[in-house]
Structure 1
Amino acid sequence: MRVLFLSWRDTSHPDGGGSEVYVEQVAAGLAARGHDVTVLCASHDGAADVSVTGGFRVLRRGGRLTVYVHGLAYLLSRAGRRTDAVVDVINGLPFATPLVRRRGLVALVHHVHREQWRIIYPGWGGRLGWYVESRVVPWLYRAIPFVTVSEASRRDLHALGLRRVEVVRNGTPSLPAPRLPRSATPRLCVLARLVPHKRIEQAIALTDELRERHPGLVLDLVGDGWWAGELDAEISRRGLQGVVVRHGRVDEQTKADLLGQAWLMVLPSVREGWGIAVLEAAAVGTPTVAYRNAGGTAESVVDGTTGALVADEASLRQITDELLGDPRRLDALGRAARERAATFTWDEATTGLEKVLLEELRRGYLP
């Protein structure tokens, strides 16, 4: 097949995250199976307009919003018309591919963005964004099969009136072995894009509240994003310089080292499609505490076995406190997390999406 992914960003983009990891891992898997794969995404400073990575092409066109126009224009071009299958990656806003194409379309959604729209755009902009996602997308894509990464996201899509939804879960990212042992003193970690809906302020607050009970406690913040300045201000306001360490965007070896040193990862995010960071931490034996009602985290974390699921900020603080005081329990959770992470592979994810694409091509044109 000639496969085109239309994605808002790629992993090299400053705002790239788990959705982009999924796209590129599956794109590489499809390319390795002999498919001709292209990813079209937004441009950003320092990135080439065209590059080849993992056996697939990356075309960078337009910016935060104009990439959607470029995506449709590409589909109307000669190269676009020769494409067999198109994966329209909907991160809140769609590429609106059914307007220009009637065959070989699949929509990929990691999670719905009801809370994110309200948090990031609290006024009319957020209401408009949620209207597009919750009303326009279900109507425009009503005949299109959807792929998502968790049963929680499938239920959310069903609630919007979308019925043809397949779950194709993330694989576990391959990380190098940590070069450093587990920290001798209590250490927490957050691996996430620095954006408001990740609610990293809650991890900073609980570190502040628990540091007297757990001497030497450190919180490592791994990742970058446009909310970094607000987090720096919060760290400064609480006088936590040296207690909360913001590392920014790091290479894979450094990521493995930091995750491997941590006793526990804290994921206070309001919504996750799956929580790929959970598997990255689990791969080096670090369990995660996350919110039970945050969507996919209730599936990526097995409560009491590979980590803990909590109901609110008070219980997040309480369970983190209990776990930091029980190294033997943390060790058991970490071992189970590592074993479970090994069961999720990108080869299975590639097979799942490839099956959906082939079935859609066999169906022919949309009604």
Structure 2
Amino acid sequence: MRILVLNWRDLRHPAAGGAEVYTEQVLRRWVAAGHQVTLFAAAVAGRPATEIVDGYRIVRAGSRFTVYREARRWWQRWGRGRFDVVVDETNTVPFLAHEWVDDGTPTIALVHQTCEDIWPHHVPPLAAQLGRHVLEPWWLRRLGGAPILAVSDSTREALTRFGARDVTVVPEGYEPPAALPVVAKEEQPTVVFCGRMVSYKRPGDVVRAVELSRREIPGLRLWMIGGGPLLNRLRERAPAGVEFLGRVDEGVKHDRMARAHVHVATSVREGWGLVVTEAAALGTPTIAYDVPGLRDSARAAGGIVVPPRPEALARWLCELLPGLRRQPGEGVPYGGARPWDEVADTLLAAVQRHARVPGAAAPLAPAA
């Protein structure tokens, strides 16, 4: 097939995250299976307007806010008649390709998460109210006119609330490190948190929960892994037993995660919660807030979900840590997610159900 994927970022974008890892892992497998894949994304400083990466072509144009307009213009100039299906990958703002792909090419959306209560953590109060209660509902109601793939039951449920009728849940993927660290758990009871120090990850809740837990577990220690705008302020105010490591390489991250007794996750919401999967694969169970995305990954990995309050997190830390010290957790295959080969095959089957019968392969379109 000839497949066009629309995503506002590619993996070389400085703001790339889990959704872009997902995209890259899937697309390179589709190419290896013989399909012709183009990814349209926003421009990246220092990267060309078009390049081949792992066999698929990336076309870049526009900014965070104009990439949607540029995708439509590129389609009108170069896309018509050249593809068998268009995948509209949504990161808060959908491309709404089904409204402007005008040559009969089928479209299907891929949604990792809805934004909803994350809005106040990214924009000023008035803009947050507008985004959460006006813009996002409007976008998602329109997106519901096309078939949708969602990476978790939580995302499917959210999309259904906004009127989507045809939503298929597809798996999240994970590739464990080639060499899993073989380390002993710490002698002291140890908790690890791994994520950016930003408000929607709620790192302050983790610190507060450990403070409360130390009343019953005096030697309790917390490792906070990750950079971000709140790092310096949190580090300056760190209470006893709390160490902020900042941003670390993958080897250090995996070593610390494997040595800790329990991992905690406290985001406002996630599409899945890949860090939960990582910890589980390393033999460290998670206590997660019972919020969209985290509840999916934590339950898949055999973790615990608790009400989203520091007091509830502290109570469960005190409840579970003694047992985890006596009998540490074991690694969960793929951390409760699925191998990337299986994810790519599942997505391809879903996309093929909506694609038209491929015609003779046309030459690749110019970048602009």
TM-score range, shorter chain: 0.7 to 0.9
Distance in 1, matches of 2:338 and 2:203, equals 27
Partner of 2:303: 307
Is the 8 Å Cα contact of residues 26 and 346 (structure 1) preserved in structure 2?
yes
AA aligned to 2:243 is: V
CA separation of 1:46/1:286 partners in 2, compared to 1, >3 Å: closer, same or farther? Answer: farther
AA aligned to 1:318 is: R
Matches within 5 A, 1:1-367: 1-79=1-79, 81-102=81-102, 103-130=105-132, 131-139=134-142, 141-179=143-181, 181-184=183-186, 185-211=188-214, 213-215=217-219, 217-222=221-226, 224=227, 228-238=228-238, 243-248=242-247, 250-292=248-290, 294-302=291-299, 306-313=302-309, 314-328=311-325, 331=328, 334-335=329-330, 338-339=332-333, 341=335, 344-362=338-356
Distance in 2, matches of 1:189 and 1:76, equals 49
Distance in 1, matches of 2:172 and 2:209, equals 29
Deviation at 1:157, TM superposition (A): 0.8
Distance in 2, matches of 1:128 and 1:236, equals 35
Tell which deviates more after alignment, 53-62 or 346-355.
Answer: 53-62
Is the 8 Å Cα contact of residues 87 and 105 (structure 1) preserved in structure 2?
yes
CA separation of 1:161/1:67 partners in 2, compared to 1, >3 Å: closer, same or farther? Answer: same
CA separation of 1:362/1:41 partners in 2, compared to 1, >3 Å: closer, same or farther? Answer: closer
Output one character per residue of 1:186-226: Cα deviation in whole Å (capped at 9) or x when no partner.
Answer: 3332233443211122123223444573426131313x4xx
AA aligned to 1:220 is: M
Is the 8 Å Cα contact of residues 297 and 336 (structure 2) preserved in structure 1?
no
AA aligned to 2:139 is: V
Deviation at 1:81, TM superposition (A): 4.6
Deviation at 1:123, TM superposition (A): 2.3
Equivalences, count: 352
For the residue of structure 2 that corresponds to 1:257, the secondary structure is helix
Is the 8 Å Cα contact of residues 5 and 40 (structure 1) preserved in structure 2?
yes
Distance in 2, matches of 1:81 and 1:204, equals 55
Distance in 1, matches of 2:49 and 2:306, equals 44
Deviation at 1:27, TM superposition (A): 1.2
Output one character per residue of 1:16-62: Cα deviation in whole Å (capped at 9) or x when no partner.
Answer: 22222221111122112111122222334454544443332333333
Distance in 2, matches of 1:330 and 1:296, equals 28
CA separation of 1:124/1:363 partners in 2, compared to 1, >3 Å: closer, same or farther? Answer: farther
AA aligned to 1:253 is: G
Partner of 2:365: none
Distance in 2, matches of 1:363 and 1:166, equals 21
CA separation of 1:154/1:121 partners in 2, compared to 1, >3 Å: closer, same or farther? Answer: same
Deviation at 1:107, TM superposition (A): 0.9
Distance in 2, matches of 1:8 and 1:194, equals 23
Percentage identity across aligned positions? 32
Distance in 2, matches of 1:80 and 1:97, equals 12
Output one character per residue of 1:214-252: Cα deviation in whole Å (capped at 9) or x when no partner.
Answer: 426131313x4xxx2223212212356x8322332x444
Is the 8 Å Cα contact of residues 152 and 296 (structure 1) preserved in structure 2?
yes
Deviation at 1:80, TM superposition (A): 6.0
Distance in 1, matches of 2:293 and 2:238, equals 31
Deviation at 1:324, TM superposition (A): 2.7
Deviation at 1:114, TM superposition (A): 1.1
For the residue of structure 2 that corresponds to 1:98, the secondary structure is helix
CA separation of 1:329/1:359 partners in 2, compared to 1, >3 Å: closer, same or farther? Answer: farther
Gaps of 5+ in 2: 359-368
AA aligned to 2:342 is: E
Is the 8 Å Cα contact of residues 85 and 104 (structure 1) preserved in structure 2?
yes
Distance in 2, matches of 1:186 and 1:341, equals 22
Distance in 2, matches of 1:272 and 1:51, equals 31
Is the 8 Å Cα contact of residues 5 and 87 (structure 2) preserved in structure 1?
yes
CA separation of 1:44/1:255 partners in 2, compared to 1, >3 Å: closer, same or farther? Answer: farther
Distance in 2, matches of 1:165 and 1:155, equals 9
Is the 8 Å Cα contact of residues 287 and 330 (structure 1) preserved in structure 2?
no
For the residue of structure 2 that corresponds to 1:302, the secondary structure is helix
What root-mean-square deviation, in Å, do the aligned CA atoms of Structure 1 and Structure 2 show?
Answer: 2.7
Distance in 2, matches of 1:64 and 1:349, equals 27
TM-score, length-scaled by structure 2:
0.85
Deviation at 1:76, TM superposition (A): 2.0
CA separation of 1:325/1:300 partners in 2, compared to 1, >3 Å: closer, same or farther? Answer: same
Deviation at 1:271, TM superposition (A): 0.9
CA separation of 1:302/1:342 partners in 2, compared to 1, >3 Å: closer, same or farther? Answer: closer
Is the 8 Å Cα contact of residues 213 and 220 (structure 2) preserved in structure 1?
no
Gaps of 5+ in 1: none
For the residue of structure 2 that corresponds to 1:326, the secondary structure is helix
TM-score, length-scaled by structure 1:
0.85
